[in-house]
Chains A and B, each alone.
Chain A
Amino acid sequence: MAHHEVERFSAGARLFHWVVTLTAIVLAVTGLFLWVPAFGSLAEDSYSRIIHRVAAVILVAAPLLFFLSRPKRALTFVKHIFTWGKDDIAWLKAAPDYYFGGDEKKMPPQGEMNSGQKLWGVVAFLSVIGFIVTGALMWFAKNSIPAELFLWTTIIHDLCFIVSASMTLVHLYLGAIHPRMTESLKSMLRGKVSEEYAKSHHGKWYKEISESKENGNKEATGSH
C-alpha cells in the first residue's frame, strides 16, 4: 500500500500532551523526595516544594488553556473516555491474547481511542482531579483544616500517585516499547499514522474520518 497517512493528533494536542508529560515527571520526581527516605536530603530547604508548586500551577493551567482554546475538542475527549459499551468489555477480554500473543481476531473495532486508551484517560483525568483537590487543600488550607483531614489529604494524594504512576508505566510501555505498537509514539511526535495502522487499530474511527472526508466536513473528525 502506498504511504497514505491520516492525521491523528493536531499540533495543539501534541503540545498539550508533552507539556503535561514534562510537568508530570517534574511533579513525580519532586514528590518522591518525600516518599523515598534515601532522597529525603534532596528536599532540603524546600526547593523541591517550590518546584513542585510551579509544576502544579502548570498542571492546572495546561488543561484550562486547552479547554479555553478548543472547548469542543476538550469536551469530545472527556465524553469519549467516559463512554463505555459492550465493545469495550469485549476489547478488555480479548486484550491479553493480543498484547501477549498477537491474536487480533477477537479485538472489536475501536473508535478514536481504544478501550485501554480510554481507561488510561479515565485514570489520568480522575487522578489529576484528585491531585489538584488534595494538593490545593495541602497548599492553601493546611492551617485551617483539622490535622486528621490533612493527614488524609496526603494519603489520598499518594493513592492518586500509586494508581496514576502504575498506569503511566503501562501507557509509556504501550506507547513506546511494546513491539506491536509501531506507530503510537510516532503519532504523538509527528501527529500522523499510516492508513493501515489507523484501519487495524482504530477501525471505527478510520471509517468515521473517511466518511466525513467524503462529505467534506473536516470538523466532525474530531482530530483537528
Chain B
Amino acid sequence: MAKAILFDSTKCTACRGCQVACKQWNNLEADETVNTGTYENPPDLSPRTWLKMRFNEVEDDGKLAWLFTRRACMHCTEAGCVKVCPTGAVYHHEEGFVAYNKDICSGCGYCVDACPFDVPRMVGSSLTGKKKMEKCVFCADRVTNDQKPACVKTCPTGALVYGDRNEMIGLAEQRVDKLAGQGVDAQLYGKDELNGLHVMYVLAHSPKDYKLPVNPEVSPSVTLWQDILKIMGYAAVGAVAGGLLLNYMVARARMVKEKEGK
C-alpha cells in the first residue's frame, strides 16, 4: 500500500521544526549560513539539508501574502531520477517513495538534472568526480517500522500528516472543500502530477505562487537517452558487427576459391 505525506500550507506557521527534526533523526550536520534579511534559512537544499521551508512573498489583491512551502523530495511515481539513474542506485521502495542505495551510486549526478523539482544534491569532489547523491529518504527506517517520518512527527500544527496515500487524498479533498467554503481558492497539488506524488500539498494559491512547477514533467531528453539512444547504440554496433562477420565469410570464401583456381 502506497504511503504519502500530506502538507497543508494553510496550517503551516513556518516554525521549521520539521527542518530540525529531519536533521536530528537523520544525523545531518547544520549548514553554516548568513543572515540575508529573511527568516528563510538555510537558503537552499544541500547534501545535508534534505528538507527546508521556503518563504514566498506574493501580492494578493494589493495585500501581502506570506506563503510557506515545503522543499524536499516529492517522491514521484514517474520519477526523473529513477528513470535516468544508470546504475539503479535510485529506485522505488515498495511503499511508493523514492529510495536510493548509496553503495552503488556512481556519483554521475544525472538525477540532479533529471529532477523536475531540483531536489537531489551531490556531495564530493567535482575534480575527481568522486561523489554521492543525497536527498530526503522518506525516513525509510521509521516508516517501515510503523513510525511517522520525523518531520511529520514533530509538526505542532498538524500541517504535516502521514498515512496511506488514498486516505491522504481523501483528507486533502475534504480540506480543499472546507477552504473553498471559506472563500479560499484552494487546490490539491500532487494527486495526478507525475502519475502521483507521494508528497502532496494543499495550496491556497496557484502552485506558481509557491514556486512549484505548474505541470511538472520528466524531460523528454531523459526518455530519449534511456529508451531510444541506448537501443540505437546496441542496434548500430550490432549491425556493424554483423556486417563485418558477413564480409569476413564472403571475402574468405572468395580467397579460398582464388587459391584453388590457381
Chain A residues engaging chain B, CB cutoff 8 angstroms: 33-35, 37, 40-41, 43-46, 48-50, 52-53, 99-102, 139-140, 142-143, 147-148, 150-152, 154-155, 158-159, 161-163, 165-166, 169-170, 173, 177-180
Q: How far is the CB of B84 from chain A (nearest CB, A)?
A: 8
| Interface: B240 (CB within 8 A) | yes
Q: How far is the CB of A89 from chain B (nearest CB, A)?
A: 21
Taking A34-B86, A179-B255 as contacts, is the C-beta distance between A169 and B244 under 8 angstroms? yes
In the assembled complex, the Cα of A53 lies from the Cα of B84 at a distance in Å of 21
In the assembled complex, the Cα of A99 lies from the Cα of B111 at a distance in Å of 46
Are B109 and A142 touching (Cβ within 8 A)? yes
| Interface: B65 (CB within 8 A) | no
Are A100 and B103 touching (Cβ within 8 A)? no
Are A173 and B244 touching (Cβ within 8 A)? yes
* Number of CB contacts from chain A to chain B under 8 A: 135
Are A162 and B255 touching (Cβ within 8 A)? no
Are A139 and B129 touching (Cβ within 8 A)? yes
B104 in complex: contacting residue of A40, A102, A143, CB < 8 Å: A40
A-B contact pairs, 27 of them (CB 8 A): A34-B106, A35-B230, A40-B89, A41-B104, A43-B104, A45-B103, A46-B131, A48-B106, A49-B107, A49-B128, A50-B128, A100-B250, A100-B251, A147-B118, A147-B219, A148-B113, A150-B113, A151-B113, A158-B225, A158-B230, A162-B236, A162-B237, A165-B237, A173-B244, A178-B248, A178-B251, A180-B255
Question: Could you tell me which residues of chain B, from 50 to 76, have a CB within 8 Å of some CB in chain A?
Answer: none
**Chain B: interface secondary structure?**
helix
Counting chain B residues whose Cβ lies within 8 A of the other chain, the interface size class is 35 or more
Q: What would 20 more interface pairs be, CB under 8 Å, given A33-B87, A46-B129, A100-B250? A: A34-B86, A35-B230, A45-B107, A46-B131, A50-B130, A101-B251, A101-B254, A139-B126, A142-B126, A147-B113, A151-B113, A151-B219, A151-B225, A158-B225, A162-B232, A163-B236, A173-B244, A177-B244, A178-B247, A180-B251
